[in-house]
Amino acid sequence: MDKDRKVASSTFSCVVPVRNEAGNLPELFKTLINFSKLDEIIFVEGGSLDDSYDLILHLVKGHERVRVLKQKRTGKFDAVLEGVNSCLSSHVVIWDADQTISLYDTTLMLNLAASRPCLVTGNRLRGTRAPKSMRFMNLIGNHFFSICFLYLLNGKKIDPLCGTKIFPKRILDFIPTRVLESDPFGDFSIIFGAVRAKIPIYSLPVEYSARKYGNTNIRRWRAGFQLLGLFIRLLSLSRSPHKH
């Protein structure tokens, strides 16, 4: 009964990192504002070269459950953390502004997260991928890190780099500060936090669409080496006792 009350009281803050996404924002905003499962929506704009920031400010006028933050530093995960630090809900929904994961799939993920304490992440490797949605080397890299995480997840295969993730905010307390500061995207940190918090991890197949506007902000090769170094650090930390 206590568990049921805890689940029933779960609330969801949606954090949307934004950089050079002006062409995606009107449709994205319409989707989010009509999605009643979100208690609040927080856009975190980080140094766009297009008019993303001004456009967001225009779109949110008159909508009380939407806020806009101007990112103080740089990087996607830093934007997520700035959003999380200001959110009021017990759970966080990371929603990528490029809209490559559908509302339908995100709703399925959120329903699962609302039913029990867990981390839910999308799985593009088990789902379907539209033409040109993922470059070949990105696909290889995603499979590589999926295999790497088998060790930390006791043989469970997931798609660790899918940006759409839903999780209890408290798992961030289980992640060392030096990890938070060195993770460019946050995916590895969030998974590691869930492992340390001993909450289940679910990886739901999703339909992965091609980006409709602009280009990815990710420098693929540089990011790949960063992630490899980060994963090696996580392996080391996983072998040391954790006190919370």
**Cβ neighbours around 222 below 10 Å, total:** 10
Q: What percent of the chain has pLDDT over 90?
A: 81
Alpha-carbon distance of 11 to 142, in angstroms, equals 31
Q: What is the pLDDT of residue 137?
A: 86
Q: What is the 3-state secondary structure (H, E, C) of the chain?
A: CHHHHHHHCCCEEEEEEECCCCCCHHHHHHHHHCCCCCCEEEEEECCCCCCHHHHHHHHCCCCCCEEEEECCCCCHHHHHHHHHHHCCCCEEEECCCCCCECHHHHHHHHHHHHHCCCEEEEEEEEEEECCCCCCHHHHHHHHHHHHHCCCCCCCCCCCCCCCCEEEEHHHHHHCCHHHHHHCCCCHHHHHHHHHHHCCCEEEEEEEECCCCCCCCCCCHHHHHHHHHHHHHHHHHHHCCCCCC
Assign 8 a pLDDT band (cuts: 50, 70, 90): very low
Torsion angles phi and psi, residue 191, rounded to 5:
-65, -45
**Domains by residue range for the chain, with CATH:** 2-238 (3.90.550.10)
Mean pLDDT score of the chain, rounded to an integer?
90
pLDDT value at position 3? 40
Total-model pTM = 0.90
What CA–CA distance (Å, rounded) separates 224 from 218? 10
Average pLDDT over residues 42-47: 96
When pLDDT is cut at 50, 70 and 90, the band that residue 5 belongs to is: very low
pLDDT at 4 > cutoff 50: no
Report, as an integer, the average pLDDT of 102-119: 96
pLDDT band at 220 (very low <50, low <70, confident <90, very high): low
Query: What is residue 213's predicted lDDT score, i.e. its pLDDT?
Result: 78
pLDDT at 83: 97
pLDDT band at 158 (very low <50, low <70, confident <90, very high): very high
Q: Is the pLDDT of residue 44 over 60?
A: yes
Structural contact between residues 32 and 107, judged by C-beta atoms closer than 8 angstroms: no
Shortest CA distance to 231 belongs to which of 140, 163, 141?
141
The stretch 108-113 carries a mean pLDDT of 96
Give 243's pLDDT tier (boundaries 50, 70, 90). Answer: low
Is residue 28 predicted with pLDDT exceeding 60?
yes
Neighbours of 72 (CB within 10 A): 10
pLDDT surpassing 60 at residue 63: yes
Q: What angle do CA 148, 135, 46 make, to 5 degrees?
A: 85
pLDDT in tens, 226-241: 899 999 999 989 876 5
* Contact present, 86 and 42 (Cβ < 8 Å): yes
pLDDT at 216: 61
Contact present, 233 and 179 (Cβ < 8 Å):
yes
Average pLDDT over residues 118-124: 97
